[in-house]
């Protein structure tokens, strides 16, 4: 696919939906459908609707002449508590794929979690933006030696954390039928092919993924790497408590953008229970449905340390490569900064649970912030 340049000035993009609209026009229909799936799913739509059910209670007469959005995530200082979730096949959106995404993230001084299903190797991605903060999204292999190899490669390439998706339940990732010659260098071991047709890819994933992935695998992972470990896909307080017991460093409250089990809770609704269950013993992040800086502010008020975005980054990548990714992130930062000022917060640490209530507060007189 050829590189795409945005036909409108940066000033024209006042909402993430502006990037979405242009990306839909520029991308081939099958690529757009792949990135958007399931476009009509309940969970995908609920992720976005749920943010609207929370109300902000701004504090006034505070000095917000300067607003600092900086945050520390897993020991790395970022310019904002917004980072990039792992998503697959960035080269479908732009020829430079994940290398461009890494450059955009580094330019915005925030973190990028690289998928095992990236179209460039984790080493090439690191080299493209050596100053960037990166995590690696691990897909455990049936052969533990291959999983160990991925861990050593991530450690050697300067990645700071291993992300493990826990909600795929052994289901192989899919790829659109028209895809040919998709490069997956992070899943190439020995004689395994560097390029896959769609049918080959699906067969490879079916035959080589470890399934099921269990808590024993998390314990194994903790013993076999010194990198930070984040579990992505936890929605229940019980699982959050178990994650703390096995020593993970972070939990990302996620429903995989609605791509797995449709009908699960919106992530912002699940977040407060997870925060209470973790009780400060690990970082808690959230992704799913974030479309504005106000959404970010609400998630932070409910207790998230950082908010992750997936599809909006792909829209920016499709529009304008690395610059488009940076523009998406910068827009979110600017919106968050304005929302913080309007809410009376001059720094991220000022964002407290008292800043937010659920709409039921006004319907039923519930006085529990975020409840």
| Mean pLDDT of the chain, nearest integer | 90
> What Å distances lie between residue 306 and 110, 173, 345, CA to CA?
11, 26, 16
For residue 34, which phi and psi values (nearest 5 degrees)?
-65, -50
CATH topology of domain 10-364: TIM Barrel (3.20.20)
Q: Which residue has the higher pLDDT, 44 or 39?
A: 44
DSSP 141: B
Please, are residues 208 and 200 in contact by the beta-carbon 8 Å criterion? no
Q: What is the pLDDT of residue 193?
A: 66
The pair of structure tokens assigned to 54 is: 């929370």
Decide if pLDDT at 180 tops 70. Answer: no
Closest CA to 83 of 336, 360, 313: 313
pLDDT tens sequence across 341-350: 999 999 999 9
Confidence of residue 157 (pLDDT cuts 50, 70, 90): very high
Decide if pLDDT at 354 tops 70. Answer: yes
Q: Which residue has the higher pLDDT, 5 or 269?
A: 269
Q: How far apart are CA 132 and CA 110, in angstroms?
A: 7
Q: What is the pLDDT of residue 182?
A: 80
pLDDT tens sequence across 83-115: 999 999 999 999 999 999 999 999 999 999 999
Question: Which residues are bridge partners to 138 per DSSP?
Answer: 164
Q: What is the pLDDT of residue 227?
A: 98
> What Å distances lie between residue 303 and 251, 256, 296, CA to CA?
12, 20, 11
- Euclidean distance between the first and final Cα of the chain, in Å? 46
To the query of whether residue 358 is one of the catalytic residues in this protein, the response is no
User: Of these residues, 94, 256, 358, 367, which one is catalytic?
Assistant: 256
Please, are residues 160 and 76 in contact by the beta-carbon 8 Å criterion? yes
Decide if pLDDT at 6 tops 60. Answer: no
Residue 214 makes CB contacts below 8 A (sequence gap 6+) with: none
CB neighbourhood size of 52 (10 A)? 13
**3-state SS record for 107-129:** HCCCEEEECCCCCCCHHHHHHHC
Please, are residues 81 and 306 in contact by the beta-carbon 8 Å criterion? yes
Please give the model's pTM, rounded to 2 decimal places: 0.92
């Amino acid at each position: 696919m050829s590189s795409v340049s945005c036909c409108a000035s940066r000033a024209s993009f006042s909402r993430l939906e502006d990037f979405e609209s242009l990306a839909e026009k520029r991308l081939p229909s099958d690529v757009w459908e792949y990135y958007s799936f399931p476009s009509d799913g309940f969970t995908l739509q609920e992720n976005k609707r749920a943010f609207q059910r929370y109300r902000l209670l701004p504090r006034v007469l505070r000095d917000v002449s300067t607003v600092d959005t900086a945050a520390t995530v897993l020991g790395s200082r970022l310019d904002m508590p917004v980072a990039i979730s792992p998503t697959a096949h960035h080269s479908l959106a732009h020829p430079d794929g994940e290398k461009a995404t890494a450059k955009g993230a580094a330019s915005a001084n925030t973190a990028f979690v690289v998928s095992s299903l990236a179209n460039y190797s984790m080493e090439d991605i690191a080299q493209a933006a050596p100053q960037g903060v990166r995590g690696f999204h691990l897909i455990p292999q049936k052969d533990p030696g291959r999983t160990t190899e991925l861990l050593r490669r991530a450690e050697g390439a300067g990645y700071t954390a291993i992300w493990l998706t826990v909600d795929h339940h052994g289901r192989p990732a899919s790829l659109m039928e028209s895809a040919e010659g998709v490069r997956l260098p992070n899943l190439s071991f020995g004689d395994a092919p560097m390029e896959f047709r769609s049918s080959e890819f699906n067969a490879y994933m079916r035959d080589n993924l470890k399934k099921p992935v269990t808590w024993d695998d998390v314990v194994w992972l903790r013993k076999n790497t010194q990198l930070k470990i984040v579990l992505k896909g936890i929605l229940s307080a019980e699982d959050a408590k178990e994650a703390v017991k096995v020593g993970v460093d972070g939990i990302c409250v996620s429903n995989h953008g609605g791509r797995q089990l449709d009908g699960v809770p919106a992530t912002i609704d699940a977040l407060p229970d997870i925060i209470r269950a973790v009780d400060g013993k690990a970082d808690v992040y959230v992704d799913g449905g974030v479309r504005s800086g106000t959404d970010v502010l609400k998630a932070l008020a409910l207790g998230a340390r950082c908010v992750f975005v997936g599809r909006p980054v792909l829209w920016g990548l499709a529009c304008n490569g690395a610059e488009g990714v940076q523009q998406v992130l910068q827009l979110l930062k600017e919106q968050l900064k304005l929302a913080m000022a309007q809410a009376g917060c001059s720094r991220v640490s000022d964002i407290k649970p008292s800043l937010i209530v659920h709409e039921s507060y006004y319907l039923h007189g519930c006085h529990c912030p975020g409840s």
